């Protein structure tokens, strides 16, 4: 599945774009770990990293939106909260399944699908709004 961040996903805010690149790299590493039957501990570590980094990224992105007076901040925050809840549920499923690789593959698919959709639609709106303010 190897998915990569591409320039057409750029929001136009360098700090946000850099964080998105990191999220794509880690999501891809998680997928590769599942595909290559890496240890449960490594996969669990990757899920934890994605969970922590996603929360940091969302906090940073929300701070930026607040600083520019982004009008859809509350709706965007809700999308972030929903994603965090979904990722927490997947982490729980992985732990309860005893490290089922199918759970990892499903988790990766969910992360990648969400990243692609969210960035290409919602986050691009942030960049457009910021550009129009100048």
Q: pLDDT tens digits, residue range 69-92?
A: 999 999 999 999 998 998 888 888
Task: Decide which of 3.30.420.10, 3.40.50.2000, 1.20.120.50, 3.40.50.300 is the CATH code for 13-133.
Answer: 1.20.120.50
CB burial of residue 33 (10 Å; 0-12, 13-18, 19+): buried
| For residues 48-68, average pLDDT | 93
pTM: 0.83
Q: Is the dihedral of CA 70, 74, 78, 80 positive or negative?
A: positive
pLDDT for the residue 87: 86
Q: What is the pLDDT of residues 6-42, one digit of tens each?
A: 899 999 999 999 999 988 888 788 777 777 777 677 7
């Amino acid at each position: 599945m190897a998915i990569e961040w591409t320039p057409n996903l750029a929001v136009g805010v360098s700090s946000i774009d850099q964080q998105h690149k990191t999220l794509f790299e880690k999501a891809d590493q998680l997928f590769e770990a599942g595909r290559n039957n890496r240890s449960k501990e490594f996969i669990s570590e990757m899920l934890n990293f994605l969970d922590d980094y996603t929360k940091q990224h969302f906090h940073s992105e929300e701070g930026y939106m607040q600083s520019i007076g982004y009008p859809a901040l509350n709706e965007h925050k809700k999308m972030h909260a929903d994603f965090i809840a979904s990722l927490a549920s997947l982490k729980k499923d992985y732990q309860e399944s005893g490290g089922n690789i199918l759970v990892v593959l499903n988790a990766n698919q969910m992360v990648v699908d969400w990243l692609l959709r969210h960035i290409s639609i919602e986050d691009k709106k942030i960049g457009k709004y910021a550009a129009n303010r100048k």
